[in-house]
Copies of this chain bind each other. A is one copy, B any other.
Amino acid sequence: VKARTPRPVLDDPVRSDSRGSERSAEAIISTVLRVIVRLGGTTGVDGIGIASAGLVNGSTGTVVRATNLVGFDQPVPLLELVRRRLEDAPDGLRLALGNDVNALARAEAARGALEGESDALVVALGTGVGGALLLDGRIRMGPRGFAGELGHVVVHPGGRPCGCGGHGHLEAYVGRAALELEARRRHRDGRSTLLVELAGDRRISSSVWDRALGAGDAVALDLRLEAATAVAVAVGQASTLLDLPLVVIGGGFAPVLGQPFRTEVERQLSDIGGAGAPLLRSAALGDRAGAIGAALLVAR
């Protein structure tokens, strides 16, 4: 990606939505390199920006931990590993690493749903749940670069186990992976559901979700309602604590949950009290927001 003209050509291959869970760190690095080659290599390129799910330390170029990516349960010095395998890279090639939802927010702020805004929460619904904060016109990074980990805030103390080992986290109620686990658990417990009956042993795809929700499947509707409650709690907490008048919802799973989900979140937020409910808005840039934001990390 030429830094001066951010031009993402592929969906971010490290997106948590993209079946990353079947890959190891090495496989992901190989994919990054294949993408670089497919985009024409590094000749004439100023920099390469990479956005990854999970806890990211941008200053060291390390993915500290990414629960939803196999091989990323320990720190992975991603930028260094990529740089070593970049042959013929021009002198001074800049590499930058950031969190995927922070990148999404950066892109939406530059040319999307956050353009001209100064204060907002971004919620990205995918395999997991990510967040980003726009505060006083800047993406909040935090002293360790870990700000925005909305997926791992507690929404139900002592509640459902989360993939990270915690309990009651937002991601356990809203992430696509957690909802699949929960649907299968209810099915095993004797509740009939199209989610499992249509998917069989395969992943519960977006189209299976669409069909189950469209048919009024009780388990699917329950899971969507519980997801809306969890999002309303987490969004309400953040907007109350930070005085945030705006929430942007994005990520690949958001359209699957659809308008009824959003309406329910808005309904539950309406009696939030305090400074009042934040406005909900959909992300504008779609699947490529993360890649655009990654490019912006190295754009001057």
Contact = CB atoms under 8 A, between A and B. Distances in A.
A244 interface: yes
Given A135-B140, A146-B275, A238 B236 contact: no
A143 B55 contact: no
A23 interface: no
Determine the main DSSP class of A at the interface with B.
Answer: loop
Interface residues of A, number: 44
A76 to B, nearest CB: 16
Interface in A121-176: 131, 133, 135, 140-150, 152-157, 162, 164-166
A153 B153 CA distance: 12
Nearest to A150: B241
A273 interface: yes
A271 B165 CA distance: 9
A145 B275 CA distance: 10
Contacts of A240: 149, 152-153
Nearest to A157: B233
Interface in A228-271: 229, 233-234, 236-238, 240-245, 271
A147 B241 contact: yes
A12 interface: no
A193 interface: no
A119 B155 CA distance: 23
From A55, A144, A162, residue with most partner B Cβ within 10 Å:
A144
Nearest to A145: B243
